[in-house]
Structure formats: C-alpha cells, structure tokens
A and B are shown apart, each in its own frame.
Chain A
C-alpha cells in the first residue's frame, strides 16, 4: 500500500509510510474498541439468557443494541477517583500498560493472507511473548491501589499467568512444528483447502491439544472459571477494585481485546485461520489455490472468516463463564501442573512421532507434510555434494531428518 501511495499519488516515502502506519494502527484500534463494544453487549445478552433473564432490551430501540455505548457514556461521566495512599504515577499508568500490551500483540496478528500490521518471521512467538506482558498492568494496578483486595488479586493473577505460560507455549509449538514456520501467515496458508487440512484434524493428538490450548488460553486471559484475580465474591473486584470511570474501562477493553486475540490465535493455529471449511474460491475458479494471486475481495472474505471463527471462540468463552463455577487457587494450579502440562507434553510427543512415521497422514495426499518441506531444505543444502561422499551423506541426512523432525 505504501508503494501505491508513493508511485500513484506521488507522496514522499516517509509520508507514505507514516500514512500506512497510522492507518494500520487505527484499524487495529478499531478492532479492539469496536469488538469490545459488541462483545460487552453480547456478554450481557448471553449472561441474561443463560440465567433466564432478558438482559438489556430498551436502549437503542430493540435488543438493547446501544447498551455498550450508553455504558461508555456513563463511564466517561464518572468521577476519576484515586485512593489516598496510592502510588499516583503507577496507578495512572497501569490501565495503559494493560491496554498497550493487548494492542501490541495485534500488530503481528494476520487477519487474512498478508493482511497484517507487521508480518513477523516469529509471529507466534511474538504474540505469546506479548500476551504474557499484559499481567504487568494488573500487578501494577494491584500494587499501586494501596488496597489489600487489589494486591491479593494481582498476586493471584501473577502466579496464574506465570504457570499457564508453560502449557500454553507447548500447545503453540505443535502447529509451529506442523507448519515448519513460526510465521502466522505461513501457518494459516498451510491449512488452505478443505476443513480436513486444518491442524485440529491433522491427527488425534492435535485434536486433543486444541482443547488444552483452549483451557490455557482461557486461564491466561483471566476469564471465568479462572478469574481469581477479580473474584467478586472474595476480593470485591480484585485488582480493579479502586478504579473507576475511563481508567476502569481500559482494563475491560484490554480484557476483551485479549479474549479476541487468543481466539483469533486459536483460529489461525488450529482452525484454518482465514480459510473457510470449503475452498469456495478455488472451486469457483477465482483463484488457483495460491493465495498470492488473491484479489482484494478474497482478503475481505478471509477477514470475515477469521472474525467469524474468533467471535465463535469469544462466545464459547462467555458460555463457559456463565456455566462453570470459579475454581479455587489450588485447583487452578492443579489444572495447570497436573493436567494441562503433562497432557500437552504427551500430545507434543505424539504429534512428533506422528510426523516421523505418518507424515502423509492417514488420508494420503490430503496434506503436504511439513517434514517434506524440511527435507526439501536439506536436499537443497546437500545438492552440491560430490559423489564419493554419497554414502556418508545418506547417513548424516537420515540422522538430521530424524533430529529435525524431533
């Protein structure tokens, strides 16, 4: 797009890049803020229906669809309070830290093929690393509030997030292993085609590890039943007890942003990303299955696909929240250390063995194995070898293939 601005309109390069960067930032911001508005309304309605109530019905005419906006205006009008003993700087800073972490992770998240703020070679790694930083805001809020409720909530959250990073990382590594890349765009593209190409259906182990990922993702964004940091029956409101008005709403935007983020990440890693269950564009002859030639419209469809899948994930989180009771802190830790981590490790091993012995999958030809791609790497690198070293090379090659697939 910067090229378009430079060549067609004739803007200087620095201005073109500024425009593109600003536009991307505004788009991502709107995904978070607009998403939060819709999800808060959806949460109210879903909670109400599950509890046999109606929820908001009047604001905005029907279904209370303007309820979130009314909430937002109410929050704007609220007084901005700060406790007397609070650490003023940190208290003011904490909501922005939380929100910035949530926002930064979206930079590397692709919404469709190549529709990404900054395509990073290590996209998955970056997103997971940033996701772990969101807890900084919570800890700062808990500390700076000078309130015991807040501090307890923050400490619980810290313990929880640090623990759950371990199984979450293991779950995320599995699609990386299957795709042979940490680039989120590549991982999404590897799953193009029919729904059977999605990594969740790659083998039985990935199917199980997808649910482990869901559990860990739920815990890492502090949603019920893992919302110990804001357990309202014990800690008033946890880390945001002392917050009000717009600062409080920043925490919530960050929370809904993270929910959307982990759902979108699940969609890209396991559920085919922006590829629909049926390769419609390929069947209709609009593209030859190679997304590089995709016209603009297909990207829009890809975005819609991803948004649909991610929204389904968020709705699932809401459903879980209003269904399951909150876990105790020791149960949270048990779930992480005694269930999620061993299961994730075992499934990781299983996927590895599957890749080693059944790289083509049970349905032959349906999936181009990542191992094959890597062997291609090796072939390329060993192509120039001389003839007398051939027997040696075969040995080293097979050894390396084994180690690589490990």
Chain B
C-alpha cells in the first residue's frame, strides 16, 4: 500500500473510510422517500409534479446504483419523461386561479393514510421475509449487458442457451413483445382518431378559383394534441 507515496501522508486517510455505494444508496433512497411524501403533502399541482419527478429520478438513480442501467434509462425515459406531460397539464390547469391550490378534505386524508399505512405494512413485511435480502449484498453485481435482454425480446434466451445448450427457444418474450407493440399501435391510432381536428372541410383550390369566398387558412393546427396523447 505504501510503495512510492510521493510524500503524501497516506496513513492519515487510511483511518477514514467512506462507503460511496452505501452513501449514494442512502442519498437516493432519502430523496425518493421524502419527495414522495412531498407529492402527497403539497397542495400546488406543479410542485407535486416536480416532487414526483424528483422521486422517480432518485429511483432511477437507485437502479443505476444496482447496475441495472437499462432499467434506469427506461425509468428516466418513460416515467420521468411521462411526468413531463403531467407537468404540462398541471401548468395548464393552474393557469385558472381556482385550481392553484388543491386542498384535500380531512376525511379523505384519514382514509388515504389508513390505506397507505396498510400497504406499507404489507410491503415491509414482505421485504423483510425474504431470506437473501436480510444480509448486505456483495456490492455491485457485474451488470448483465442489454444484449441478452434484447435477444430475449425477439425470442432467443442467449443467457440460458449458452449455459444449458438448449435448442428450444422457450422462455423468450417474442409473443408478449408483439402483443404489447400491437396494443400500443392500436392505442396510438385510437388517440390520433379521438384527438383529430373536427373542422369544416377546407375547400379545394379548384373550388376556390370558382368562388370568391374568403379563404380559410389551411393549418393542421391540432396536431400537437395528437402527439401529446399518442406519446403516452
């Protein structure tokens, strides 16, 4: 340890040790929990959305810390990015003054806290009953690459085949993947259909030449609504 110390008093630092992994776990976990509480406790829609973003982002940080990079990036993309739309709607709603402050009635608060406490108790009990979670882990697991994940989605479990030499592509996720993608396509088309602009037929140029009516601008003005509905 002490070869060629360049005159730096190494022993001074050796007595102190900071476990960065544990530190960041506690940090992210604290941020996630506190901002999740703040979502419930604050009464401004935009601040709620901001706290939700913080909470979900800290969860993504926990995923990165555990070595699940793909899951973490997904969390950022889908959940944190999805909250963006929520935030936009929050801003649009609070543009009207009667909705600036959303105060929950006291009765609702009681019911909600009973439900939440019950759920928390069940989850805590479940988490502590798992044998392998009771002792601290061995730090970072060597992260599996995203490639086996992608291959599994197209029906080839590379990780299992390499070990067992199995031929059958069993356990692949091709069918669920296809079902989900078709489902999303249906949702997308449905959203586009529902959100399309219901406007009067714009006269064709041929008709315009014939008539001397005032010409309406031919914007496809409602397309942004389509997108925000469709990207959900």
Contacts and interface: CB of A to CB of B under 8 A. Distances in A.
Contact of B227 (A135, A166, A400): A166
Contacts of B73: 120, 122, 125-126, 129
A130 B76 contact: yes
A10 B10 contact: yes
Nearest to A330: B219
A392 B87 CA distance: 53
Contacts of A329: 224
Interface string A148-187: 0001001100110011011000000000000011100000
B95 A151 contact: yes
B91 A139 contact: yes
A151 B167 contact: no
B156 A404 contact: yes
Interface residues of A, number: 64
Interface in B132-178: 143, 145-147, 151, 154-156, 158, 161-162, 165, 167, 169, 174
B13 interface: yes
Chain A contact surface mostly: helix
A52 interface: no
Contacts of A158: 84, 88
Given A9-B4, A90-B47, A377 B146 contact: no
A192 to B, nearest CB: 20
Chain B contact surface mostly: helix
Contacts of B227: 159, 162-163, 166, 333, 336-337
Nearest to B88: A158
A12 B70 CA distance: 31
A384 B164 CA distance: 9
A330 B221 contact: yes
Given A143-B46, A381-B162, A122 B69 contact: yes
Contacts of B221: 330
Contacts of A121: 69-70, 143, 145-146
A132 B84 contact: yes
Interface in B214-232: 219-221, 223-224, 226-228, 231
A14 B161 contact: no
B84 A182 contact: no
Given A159-B224, A334-B223, A337-B227, A396 B165 contact: no
B53 interface: yes
Contacts of B167: 382, 385, 389, 392-393, 396
Contacts of A182: 146
Contacts of B50: 90, 93, 140
A166 B191 CA distance: 15
A136 interface: yes
Contacts of A140: 46, 50
Contacts of B151: 377, 404
Given A129-B77, A404-B151, A330 B220 contact: yes
Given A12-B13, A120-B69, A330-B219, A337 B1 contact: no
Interface of B: 1-6, 8, 10, 13-14, 17-20, 44, 46-47, 50, 53, 69-70, 72-74, 76-77, 80-81, 84-85, 87-88, 91-92, 94-95, 143, 145-147, 151, 154-156, 158, 161-162, 165, 167, 169, 174, 219-221, 223-224, 226-228, 231
Contacts of A136: 53, 84, 87
A125 B69 CA distance: 10
A293 interface: no
Contacts of B46: 87, 90, 140, 143
Contacts of A129: 73, 76-77, 80-81
A159 B227 CA distance: 8
B174 to A, nearest CB: 7
Contacts of B72: 126
Contacts of A336: 227
A18 interface: yes
Interface in A60-92: 87, 89-90
A135 B20 contact: no
B156 A381 contact: yes
A15 interface: yes
Interface string A109-145: 0000000000011100110111011011001101100
Nearest to A159: B224
Contacts of B77: 125, 128-129, 132
Q: Ordered nearest first, which 4 A-B pairs have the shortest CB separation?
A: A384-B165, A381-B161, A129-B77, A129-B76
Contacts of A406: 154
A31 B20 CA distance: 26
A380 B88 contact: no
Contacts of B8: 9-11
Contacts of A87: 44, 46-47
A90 B223 CA distance: 30
Contacts of B17: 12, 14
A17 B19 CA distance: 11
B69 A126 contact: yes
Given A166-B227, A330-B219, A330-B221, A10 B4 contact: yes
A129 B228 CA distance: 17
A207 B53 CA distance: 37
B19 to A, nearest CB: 7
A381 B223 contact: no
Interface in A326-384: 329-330, 333-334, 336-338, 377-378, 380-384
A400 B157 CA distance: 11
A393 B46 CA distance: 56
Interface string A289-308: 00000000000000000000
